[in-house]
A and B are shown apart, each in its own frame.
Chain A
Amino acid sequence: MLDLLAYDFMQRSLLAAAMVGGLCSVIGVFVVLRGLAFVGAGTSHAAFAGVALGYLMGWPPLLLAIVFGLATVWITGWVEERGRMKLDVSIGILYTTTMALGILFIGLMKTYNAEVYGYLFGSVLSVTPEELQIIGALSVLVLGLLLLFAKELYFIAFDQEMAEASGVPARQIFFLLLTLVALTVVVSLKTVGAILVFAMILIPASTAYQLTHSLAALTLYSAAIGILTAVTGVLISALWDVPSGPAIVLLATTVFFISVFFSPKRVRRTRLAHSH
C-alpha cells in the first residue's frame, strides 16, 4: 500500500477525496438540519446536465455545471419563498427536467465520451493537477463562507422566521446556503459523481446526527466521518480495483448503520420504551 502512496495520481486523488469529503460533510450538516436533502439531489443532476452541455459545445464543463447548479437552487429557493409550490414538487420537476437535458446532450454527442461518464459516476483516481487546483480553490471559498456565516446558518436551520425576527438577514443567508450547496456539488462532481455526491452530503451529517446533541460537535463529527470515509474509500478503490464513488458511498453507508445501532439517542429511546 505504501508503494501506492508514492504515485502522484494517488496523492492527488487522496487529497481530492479528503477535501470533497470534508466539504460535503460540513455543508451536509446545514442541508440535513434545514431539510434541504432533496435540493442536493436535484442540484447534482442539474450540474451534470451542465457538464454534458459543456462537452457537447466544447465549453468549459465545470463553469456550465456551476451555472446549471446555481440556476436550479435559486429557482428552488425563490419558489419556496413565494410559497407557490411545495419544495419537493418544484425540485422534483427541476430534477427530472435537468436529467432529461443531460441525457439529451449526451445523445446529441456524435461519439462516446468517457469523461462525461466520469462526472456521472465519479473517477477520483483520474483527477488532474488542474482539477485538483479548482477543487482546492472552491473548497477554500465554500468552507471560508461557511465559517464566516456559521452562526447565521445554524440559526436559519433551526428556525428561519425566528432568525429573521431577531435581526438576522435570514433570506440572504438562506440563498447563500443554497449557493454553497450548488458549489459543493460542482466541486464534488469529478470525485464521487453526480449520482453519488448527494450521499456524501447526506450520510456523514446524518451519521453524526445519531451521535450528538450539540451543534458544534455535530459539525466536527460530520467532517471527521466525511474525510475518513472518503480517503478510506479511495484506498479501497485503488487496492481492490473497484470504482471509487461506490466504494466511498457504501463505506459511508456502513458507518451510518453502525452509528444508528450504537446511537445514544436510540439507546435512550429504547430505555424509555422499556420504562413505560
Chain B
Amino acid sequence: MSNPREPIIRFDHASFGFPGLIALQDISLTIYEGEFVGVIGPNGSGKTTLCRAVLGLLAPVEGHLHIFDCACDELRCHHRAKIGYLPQKGVVDRNFPVTVLETVMMGRYGALGLFKRPGRKDRDIALEALAQVAMESHKDNALGHLSGGQQQRVFIARALAQQPKVLILDEPTTGLDITAQHNVIELVQHLHDELKLTVLLITHDINMIRSRVDRLVLLKTRLFAAAPPTEVLKPEILHQVYGKDLVITEKDLVIVEDYHHHH
C-alpha cells in the first residue's frame, strides 16, 4: 500500500447532474497522489458520473472540484491530458478500421495540441505504452481482430500514451473471460506500482479488487464510504447501499445482485 502524499483530486461538497436529476450529491472526497482507489456502488449510483467529472466532461452544479492544483469548476480544463481514461466497453466501435498502433497514437493527440503532427517521439511513446501492456508484437494488427482482453490492453496503452498522472478505468473487466479479467487487473496493479500512477477503478467485482486497492469509495448518489476495504466491506455499511441485493458468503465474498447488469 502506498502512503498518501499530495492531494490530486478534491471534491468539495460537489454535486453533479441537472436540476431535478442529481446524479451525485454533496460529494466531499480527496484522492491522493499514488493512491489505488476502487469505486463501487450499485447500478446507476453515479460511478461513471464521478469519472466523467474528474475527466472534465461535467462541471459541478454545486460545490467545487479541484484537480491537481486547479479549481476545475468549468468544463474543458487543460489538465485533462494528464488523466488517462478507459471507457466502458461498448462505447467504442471495435470494428473501426484502425490498427493497434494507430489507436495508441490517438493518446498523444490531446497532449500534442492542434496543428502539430505526431512525430518520432510520439511514436516511441506509443510503442513504449504498448510494451507496458505486452502488446507491442500486435502493433500492426487490426484492433477488431484482437480478443476482448487484448483490446482492453490496447485501450490501456492508449491511456498510458498520454503519459498521465491519473488512470481512470470504467468497468475494465466487463465482458472478459475470467483469465482475461484477472490479467487486466494484474496489469492495472502493475502499472500502479511501476509507474506510480494514481488509479481510479470502477467495478462491480468487489472481490477482484478488494485485496489490491488502498481505498474503496462506496457510492449511491451520495458518498457512503471512502476507506480501506476492511472498513468498507462490512455488512452494516454495504446494506445501506445494496439493501437486499447483497449477499456475503461464509468465505467473506461479497455478491451483489446487479453484478451482471452489463448484459
Contacts and interface: CB of A to CB of B under 8 A. Distances in A.
Interface string B67-103: 0000000001010110111010001110011110011
A167 B81 contact: yes
B34 interface: no
Given A151-B117, A158-B96, A214-B102, A163 B109 contact: yes
Contact of B57 (A149, A165, A215): A165
B99 A214 contact: yes
Contact of A149 (B84, B98, B107, B114): B114
B110 interface: yes
Given A33-B96, A214-B102, A218-B97, A165 B114 contact: no
B110 A148 contact: no
A241 B8 CA distance: 71
The range of chain B's interface size is 35 or more
A163 B55 CA distance: 11
A162 B168 CA distance: 12
Contacts of A218: 97
B114 A152 contact: yes
B118 interface: yes
Given A33-B96, A159-B92, A213-B142, A165 B85 contact: yes
A159 B143 CA distance: 14
A67 interface: no
Contacts of B144: 213
Which residue, of B85, B97, B106, has the highest number of chain A Cβ atoms within 10 A?
B97
Contact of A166 (B99, B102, B109, B145): B109
A135 to B, nearest CB: 26
Contact of B97 (A148, A164, A168, A213): A213
Nearest to A209: B97
Given A159-B87, A166-B81, A151 B56 contact: no
Contacts of A159: 87, 91-92
Interface in B140-183: 141-145, 162
Given A159-B92, A169-B76, 6 more contacts: A149-B114, A157-B96, A163-B110, A165-B55, A166-B110, A213-B97
13 contacts: A151-B106, A151-B109, A158-B93, A161-B57, A162-B85, A164-B57, A166-B85, A166-B107, A168-B109, A169-B76, A169-B114, A209-B97, A213-B98
Interface of A: 33, 148-149, 151-152, 154-155, 157-159, 161-169, 209, 212-216, 218
Which 5 residue pairs of A and B lie closest in terms of their CB atoms, listed nearest first?
A167-B110, A213-B142, A166-B110, A167-B81, A165-B55
